[in-house]
Copies of this chain bind each other. A is one copy, B any other.
Amino acid sequence: MDLQALVCEVHAELDAASERGRVADYIPELGKVPGAKFGIAIATMDGRCVTAGDADDAFSIQSVSKVFALALALGKIGDGLWKRVGREPSGSAFNSIIQLEHEKGIPRNPFINAGAIVVADVILAGHRPREAIGEILRFVRVAANDETVSIDPAVARSEQEHGFRNAALANYMKAFGNIHNPVELTLGVYFHQCAIEMSCVQLAQAGLFLANSGRDPRTGISVVSKERARRINALMLTCGHYDGSGDFAFKVGLPGKSGVGGGILAVVPGKASIAVWSPGLNAQGNSQLGTRALELIAQRMGWSVFGA
């Protein structure tokens, strides 16, 4: 089937749905986004990008940014990162602090909040927060091949004002010696990283290196090594959707990372990178229409990594 036709079909089919989940409102800026928004973009190896719906609207990528921050941090300190953060699914809610006590301040994986705060701490590494934030943003712009990607300062500020759980996590890990910079500086980097804004088109293009063994097929730039791309994909599949990761693997069968802003980035190894966005979230805190769209696309294209 033609990919463009498929994307339109899936978008139309789901856009008719009345039940779209609940828009996150723990910070006012996210709560303002219209629940009716729904975009899909698929970037393929040959440089094409097929889209449907609100694929050009910028939205807050939130936790999807953890994928890029992880790739950047691995580039900086390599496998030494795995001494400070684990690689196992967490089996509990995304802001759970229990596991940290049990494992002496080592978060289970880089995609839960605690783990992503450690990754931000690795990127900060004694520099000024402004520099670390700039470095993350440059990394995402290179990956997206788009210099217009930016950060929404109002969202970053709002995260900071409501970020008591993240402050608890960071202080807790600091007590175990697993945060090396001052807590407020590391959190500053983390909150700005979460406030990156991208459209589905930008996001799909930014994820393409993960589908193509670490290399951007359009620019030829090697973003990460082949082995590292494979391993980031593995982490996305096992840990990318908090306590809904098993279900996402079961239904969609692709590496993916969701954000509370309603975006999801999914990777089809060797074939494509998909970004979906719809702000309403399901019970696990992942985009409801987005998850369903990925399920239909993977199924109809035979794209699951687990078999046609």
Interface residues of A (CB under 8 A from B): 86-92, 96-99, 101, 108-109, 164-165, 167-169, 171-172, 174-175, 183, 210-211, 213, 226, 229-231, 233-235, 237-239, 243-247, 249-250, 253, 255, 269-270, 304-308
Q: Are B306 and A269 in touch, CB under 8 angstroms?
A: yes
**A101/B90 in contact, CB under 8 A:** no
- Docked CA distance A99–B92 (Å): 10
Determine the chain B residues whose CB is within 8 A of the CB of A169 once the complex forms. Answer: 168
Contact status of A86 and B246, CB under 8 A, knowing A99-B91, A172-B164, A175-B164: yes
Contact of A249 among B86, B96, B237 (CB under 8 A): B237
- For A305, the chain B residues whose CB sits under 8 A away are 269, 305-306
Chain B residues within an 8 Å CB radius of A174:
164
Indicate which residue in B87, B89, B239, B308 contacts A270 across the interface (CB closer than 8 Å): B308
The docked-state distance in angstroms from the alpha carbon of A87 to that of B247 is 6
Measured CB to CB, the nearest residue on chain B to A244 is: B88
Contacts of A244 in B (CB 8 A): 88
Q: Can you list 6 pairs linking A and B with CB atoms under 8 Å apart?
A: A87-B246, A90-B91, A97-B101, A98-B98, A211-B307, A226-B308
Distance, CA A245 to CA B246, complexed state (A):
11
Q: Nearest Cβ distance between residue A169 and chain B, in whole angstroms?
A: 7
Complex CA–CA separation, A223 to B169 (angstroms): 40
Determine the chain B residues whose CB is within 8 A of the CB of A238 once the complex forms: 89, 237-238, 245-246, 249-250
- Please state if B175 and A171 are interface contacts (CB–CB under 8 Å): no
Identify A101's interface contact among B88, B96, B249, CB under 8 A.
B96
> Chain B nearest CB: distance from A235 CB in Å?
7
**Which 6 A-B pairs give the minimum distances between C-beta atoms?**
A91-B91, A89-B89, A164-B175, A88-B246, A233-B306, A168-B172
Extra A-B contacts (4), CB below 8 Å, given A88-B245, A97-B98, A238-B249: A89-B246, A164-B172, A168-B168, A235-B249
In the complex, are the beta carbons of B307 and A247 less than 8 A apart? no
- B168 touching A175, Cβ below 8 Å: yes
Residues of chain B contacted by A306 (CB below 8 angstroms):
229-231, 233-234, 237, 255, 269, 305
Contact of A97 among B97, B108, B229 (CB under 8 A): B97
Q: Which residue of chain B has the shortest Cβ distance to A235 in the bound complex?
A: B250
Q: Please, which residue of chain B has its CB at the minimum distance from the CB of A306? A: B233
Instruction: Tell whether, in the assembled complex, residue A88 and residue B89 are in contact, meaning their CB atoms are under 8 Å apart.
Output: yes
Candidate in A97, A108, A169 with the most chain B CB atoms within 10 angstroms: A97
Interface-centre pick from A172, A244, A247 (highest chain B CB count, 10 A) = A172
Q: How far is the CB of A256 from chain B (nearest CB, A)?
A: 12
Residues in B whose Cβ lies below 8 Å from that of A97: 97-98, 101, 168, 172
